[in-house]
């Protein structure tokens, strides 16, 4: 019998009571005795030399505690912010990583880049001090347009043509040969629009220095506090790892943007040591727009070669990816190993060749944002497939079926370096088409037409590689860190359980879902399980949460630890019951001796473990607490079919999403309600990219969409009531059979929306976001 609140149950979230009653404890809720406030002075220019910074008036401002410039940090031995993934160019050379001082020293390279830090007794004093800085900038022409960025002014002295790397993946000769024998080639130019993440909680940091212990404590909004600590200790030289504790308390959303090690928390924790005062910084929303890492931003030319019967023969993709002004923590990996490797999609395309040139521009750094590379790849593949179907006059779903990897083909090795373990793509598509009532679409289109509207339908059959990642694969491809996870299961004396996980929840519901796993595995009541996370002082080195990895990797580590708990519990029970350990079974929370009526509850064994009266302590240590590291043997491959139906008002260009169906295969599911919530959020972001969201700089590098007045966040009334369903092929290589669900909505949906809009308008393509004016102009043939 599975526990009532075990795996598969739609248990209500443990987190919600405190979040919805305002009892969450976020970084900005924290305060320390003697706390000061930090204000960052930020560049008003997209590109300029810093000729001189006069800090005298700022330092003399009432209430100002200290003023620091980049030169101060540098003089104190603070290093550059590193990028953690080394990508190599086609010619074997390493990518070029320009210096990235946390606080600009000689030059500023994007609007919003910090060039000084003012610490005040109050925030107002810090702001007054920042305004009193006198800075002599020598403005330089900004490089903003991505497509031409390799042919304009050089931003960094060490980076010719502003090129970070020129990377390739796949067999070029085989792909070219496939195109030579093609019956039909579909060609597309695609721009994947820049997005600005916008977690509800802005980034924040509270740095403290304990002079007695000589140690630093940093509370910050990080998705991966251990990585933050590693970088700050090993690369930035803030403090030795053992003298630096990083805590991520409640965090209100990340979407990738809180993976990275940023200038602000680096400067704050350093300044706390320097001033011997706690230093607090909380981003204002306008700072989030300017200085959080942005997402996407690709310019791509892609081609799909087809045989006469619609068989895919080859895929060729050339992408220019925007890195922004500096390499953010994982920026280099996003348009390469998280993008090129996904180009097979759900199809048996035999030859694929991907080239990616990553360029610097005078814009905010670009890094992973929900899906990270995989939404961009899905958009390329699924726009091409849909367009090819229209060009050759084949139903878009039939063309997909013609090319799907079949269930019998697994494990399936793609031409772009991945081996899919399992899947059933047609099952998801079939289910999605049933939900969307595809057969009746023509009637609905006629009804819209009669009402003066244009209706369109679009599909997207996506795949993603999640559960990042097999460490040795990632390291061989350039990752600077392993990507395992740690899980610790501490059974308390009375049989309740405390789980310490290296995963970090900033909305993912780990306190609930991980408790469900424990409840299922150990038979402990769900209420008696507490999940702790987000503190380098509590857990072993861990890698945190991103890439839909928490359950597949972090959850697997917890399962491994519970296995150890059960194994030890059996030994203890055997001594207590005078049985052979091999004859003890554990089921439904009881240790039973086979073929007997002797049994002990889990709580009884836990108590005995800590009150070790009956077993030989030289053979068996007291206590019942186990830890496991789990390194996955492969990625997981969630996949699914998204179908979008839109109605366009041709007079105004307004697009209404009238129906959205997402059928996803996430493998086994621990909490279907949590999964549905994850899918909803992802869909909102994917639909947002297609229709609403756009990070726009003007020609001089000023951010035009720098507030909610101009950056269109998706709202409830922009979205239909989603139809969300699942199919299941359990992951074959992790103990839970799970694949991950955090990013799927954002990965699959964007292409479905644009496929629907272009279908409605009867056009080959449309720019994203498909705003009303864009749609109106496209409909007019402009």
- Looking at beta carbons only, is 79 or 686 nearer to other proteins? 686
Q: Where are the beta strands (DSSP E) in 196-332?
A: 204-210, 215-220, 244-247, 279-282, 295-306, 312-324
* 776 scored as a contact of other proteins (CB under 8 A): yes
* 772 scored as a contact of other proteins (CB under 8 A): yes
Write down the residue that tokens 């079919």 correspond to. Answer: 641
- Looking at beta carbons only, is 643 or 644 nearer to other proteins? 644
Total length of the chain: 782
Measure the CA–CA gap between 439 and 446, rounded to whole angstroms: 13
Q: Please, which of residues 125-144 interact with other proteins by CB under 8 A?
A: 127
* 62 scored as a contact of other proteins (CB under 8 A): no
Measure the CA–CA gap between 622 and 769, rounded to whole angstroms: 61
Q: DSSP of 16-67, one letter per residue?
A: HHHHHTT---BGGG---TT-EEEEEEE-SSSSEEEEEEE-HHHHTSTTEEEE
Q: Which of 705, 723, 728, 765 binds other proteins (CB under 8 A)?
A: 705
Contact criterion met (CB below 8 Å) for 752 and 655: no
**Residue 382 CB, nearest approach to other proteins (Å):** 25
Cβ count near 301 (within 10 Å): 15
Q: Please, which of residues 282-341 interact with other proteins by CB under 8 A?
A: 286
**Residue 199 CB, nearest approach to other proteins (Å):** 18
Measure the CA–CA gap between 615 and 575, rounded to whole angstroms: 6
Burial of 777: CB neighbours in 10 Å, binned 0-12, 13-18, 19+: middle
Task: Candidates 181-189, 268-276, 678-686, 769-777: pick the segment binding other proteins (CB under 8 A).
Answer: 769-777
Q: Where are the beta strands (DSSP E) in 552-598?
A: 584-587, 590-593
Q: Which of 673, 718, 730, 764 binds other proteins (CB under 8 A)?
A: 718
Write down the residue that tokens 């922009």 correspond to. Answer: 718
Q: Where are the beta strands (DSSP E) in 140-247?
A: 163-170, 184-195, 204-210, 215-220, 244-247
* 449 scored as a contact of other proteins (CB under 8 A): no
* 711 scored as a contact of other proteins (CB under 8 A): yes
* 712 scored as a contact of other proteins (CB under 8 A): yes
The helix or strand, by DSSP H or E, that contains position 723, with its residue range, turns out to be strand 723-727
- Give the number of residues in contact with other proteins, rule: CB under 8 A: 22
**Residue 298 CB, nearest approach to other proteins (Å):** 21
* 668 scored as a contact of other proteins (CB under 8 A): no
Q: Please, which of residues 160-219 interact with other proteins by CB under 8 A?
A: none
Task: Candidates 213-221, 391-399, 544-552, 707-715: pick the segment binding other proteins (CB under 8 A).
Answer: 707-715
Q: Which of 244, 557, 692, 741 binds other proteins (CB under 8 A)?
A: 692
- Looking at beta carbons only, is 330 or 711 nearer to other proteins? 711
- Looking at beta carbons only, is 634 or 749 nearer to other proteins? 749
Q: Which of 346, 726, 750, 771 binds other proteins (CB under 8 A)?
A: 771
Q: Which of 16, 54, 413, 651 binds other proteins (CB under 8 A)?
A: 651
- Looking at beta carbons only, is 56 or 713 nearer to other proteins? 713
Q: Which of 696, 719, 764, 767 binds other proteins (CB under 8 A)?
A: 696
**Residue 285 CB, nearest approach to other proteins (Å):** 10
Q: Binding string to other proteins for residues 605 to 644, with x set by CB under 8 A, is what? A: ----------------------------------------
Q: Where are the beta strands (DSSP E) in 534-688?
A: 584-587, 590-593, 599-601, 625-630, 639-649, 654-665
**Residue 678 CB, nearest approach to other proteins (Å):** 25
- Looking at beta carbons only, is 448 or 771 nearer to other proteins? 771
- Looking at beta carbons only, is 439 or 716 nearer to other proteins? 716
- Looking at beta carbons only, is 128 or 192 nearer to other proteins? 128
* 708 scored as a contact of other proteins (CB under 8 A): yes
* 76 scored as a contact of other proteins (CB under 8 A): no
CA–CA distances in Å: residue 136 to residues 75, 126, 279: 21, 20, 27
Q: Please, which of residues 254-293 interact with other proteins by CB under 8 A?
A: 286
Phi and psi dihedrals of 461, rounded to 5?
-110, 100
**Residue 224 CB, nearest approach to other proteins (Å):** 31
Which residues are bridge partners to 501 per DSSP?
A: 487, 533
Sign of the CA dihedral running 391, 395, 401, 404: positive
Q: DSSP of 435-498, one letter per residue?
A: HHTGGGHHHHHHHHHHTT-EEEEEEEEEE--BS---HHHHHHTTBSS---EEEEEEE-TTS-EE
* 773 scored as a contact of other proteins (CB under 8 A): yes
**Residue 28 CB, nearest approach to other proteins (Å):** 16
3-state secondary structure of 512: helix
* 710 scored as a contact of other proteins (CB under 8 A): yes
Measure the CA–CA gap between 769 and 755, rounded to whole angstroms: 13
CA–CA distances in Å: residue 107 to residues 74, 138, 552, 619: 14, 9, 43, 64
Listed in sequence order, the residues at least 6 apart from 550 whose beta carbon sits closer than 8 Å to its beta carbon are 503, 504, 505, 508, 510, 740, 742
Contact criterion met (CB below 8 Å) for 493 and 534: no
Nearest Cα to 339, choosing from 425, 417, 413? Answer: 417
* 713 scored as a contact of other proteins (CB under 8 A): yes
**Residue 764 CB, nearest approach to other proteins (Å):** 22
Phi and psi dihedrals of 626, rounded to 5?
-135, 155
The DSSP call for residue 385 is: H
Task: Candidates 221-229, 398-406, 591-599, 690-698: pick the segment binding other proteins (CB under 8 A).
Answer: 690-698
- Looking at beta carbons only, is 152 or 705 nearer to other proteins? 705
- Looking at beta carbons only, is 164 or 703 nearer to other proteins? 703
- Looking at beta carbons only, is 10 or 763 nearer to other proteins? 763
Which residues are bridge partners to 727 per DSSP?
A: 665
Task: Candidates 299-307, 309-317, 712-720, 723-731: pick the segment binding other proteins (CB under 8 A).
Answer: 712-720
- Looking at beta carbons only, is 98 or 295 nearer to other proteins? 295
* 451 scored as a contact of other proteins (CB under 8 A): no
Residues that bind other proteins (CB under 8 A): 124, 127, 286, 651-652, 692, 694, 696, 704-705, 708-713, 718, 771-773, 776-777
């Amino acid at each position: 019998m599975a526990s009532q609140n075990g795996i598969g149950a739609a248990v209500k979230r443990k987190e919600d009571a405190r979040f919805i009653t305002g009892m969450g404890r976020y970084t900005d809720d924290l305060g320390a005795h003697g706390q000061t406030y930090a204000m960052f002075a930020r560049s008003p220019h997209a590109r300029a030399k810093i000729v001189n910074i006069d800090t005298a008036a700022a330092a003399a401002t009432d209430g100002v505690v200290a003023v620091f410039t980049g030169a101060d940090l540098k003089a104190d031995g603070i290093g550059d912010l590193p990028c953690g993934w080394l990508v190599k160019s086609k010619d074997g050379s390493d990518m070029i990583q320009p210096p990235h001082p946390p606080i600009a020293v000689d030059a500023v390279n994007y609007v919003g880049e910090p060039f000084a830090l003012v610490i005040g007794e109050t925030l107002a004093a810090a702001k007054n001090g920042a305004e009193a800085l006198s800075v002599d900038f020598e403005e330089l022409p900004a490089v903003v347009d991505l497509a031409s960025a390799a042919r304009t002014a050089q931003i960094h002295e060490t980076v010719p043509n502003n090129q970070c790397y020129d990377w390739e993946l796949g067999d070029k000769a085989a792909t070219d040969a496939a195109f030579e024998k093609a019956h039909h080639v579909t060609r597309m130019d695609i721009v994947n629009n820049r997005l600005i993440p916008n977690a509800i909680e802005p980034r924040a940091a509270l740095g403290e220095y304990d002079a007695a212990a000589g140690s630093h404590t940093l509370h910050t909004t990080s998705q991966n506090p251990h990585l933050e600590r590693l970088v700050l200790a090993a690369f930035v030289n803030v403090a030795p790892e053992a003298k630096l504790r990083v805590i991520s308390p409640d965090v209100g959303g990340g979407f990738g943007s809180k993976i990275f090690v940023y200038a602000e928390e680096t400067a704050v924790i350093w300044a706390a040591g320097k001033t011997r005062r706690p230093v607090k910084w909380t981003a204002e929303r306008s700072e989030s727009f300017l200085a959080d890492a942005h997402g996407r931003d690709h310019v791509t030319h892609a081609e799909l070669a087809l045989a006469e019967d619609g068989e895919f023969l080859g895929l060729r993709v050339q992408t220019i990816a925007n890195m922004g002004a500096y390499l953010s923590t994982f920026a280099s990996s996003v348009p390469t190993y998280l993008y090129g490797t996904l180009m097979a999609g759900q199809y048996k395309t035999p030859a694929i060749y991907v080239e990616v040139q990553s360029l610097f521009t005078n814009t905010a750094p670009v890094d992973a944002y929900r899906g990270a590379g995989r939404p961009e790849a899905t958009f390329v593949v699924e726009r091409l497939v849909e367009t090819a179907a229209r060009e050759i006059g084949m139903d878009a779903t039939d063309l997909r079926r013609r090319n799907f990897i079949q269930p019998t083909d697994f494990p399936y090795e793609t031409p772009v370096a991945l081996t899919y373990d399992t899947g059933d793509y047609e099952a998801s598509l079939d289910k999605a088409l049933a939900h969307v009532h595809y057969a009746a679409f023509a009637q609905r289109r006629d009804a819209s037409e009669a009402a003066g509207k244009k209706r369109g339908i679009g599909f997207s059959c996506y795949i993603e590689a999640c559960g990042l990642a097999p460490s040795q694969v990632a390291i061989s491809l350039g990752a600077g860190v392993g990507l395992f996870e740690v899980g610790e299961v501490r059974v308390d004396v009375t049989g309740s359980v405390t789980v310490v996980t290296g995963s970090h929840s900033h909305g993912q519901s780990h306190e609930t879902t991980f408790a469900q796993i424990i409840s299922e595995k150990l038979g402990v009541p769900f209420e008696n399980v507490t999940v702790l996370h987000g503190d380098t002082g509590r857990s072993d080195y861990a890698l945190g949460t991103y890439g839909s990895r928490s359950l597949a990797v972090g959850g697997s580590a917890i399962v491994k630890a519970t296995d150890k708990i059960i194994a030890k519990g059996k030994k203890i029970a055997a001594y207590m019951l005078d049985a052979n350990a091999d004859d003890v079974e554990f089921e439904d929370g009881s240790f039973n001796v086979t073929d007997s009526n002797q049994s002990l509850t889990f709580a009884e064994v836990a108590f005995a473990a800590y009150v070790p009266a009956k077993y030989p302590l030289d053979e068996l240590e007291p206590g019942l607490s186990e830890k496991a590291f789990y390194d996955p043997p492969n990625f997981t491959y969630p996949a699914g079919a998204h179908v979008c139906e839109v109605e366009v008002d041709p007079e105004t260009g307004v697009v209404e999403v009238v129906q959205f169906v997402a059928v996803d295969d996430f493998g086994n599911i621990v909490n279907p309600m949590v999964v549905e919530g994850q899918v909803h959020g992802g869909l909102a972001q994917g639909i947002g990219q297609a229709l609403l969201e756009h990070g726009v700089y003007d020609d001089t590098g000023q951010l035009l969409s720098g507030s909610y007045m101009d950056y269109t966040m998706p709202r409830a009334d922009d979205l239909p009531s989603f139809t969300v369903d699942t199919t299941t092929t359990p992951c074959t290589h992790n103990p839970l059979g799970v694949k991950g669900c955090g990013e799927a909505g954002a990965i699959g949906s964007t292409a479905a929306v644009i496929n629907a809009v272009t279908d409605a308008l009867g056009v080959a393509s449309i720019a994203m976001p498909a705003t009303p004016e864009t749609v109106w102009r496209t409909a007019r043939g402009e």
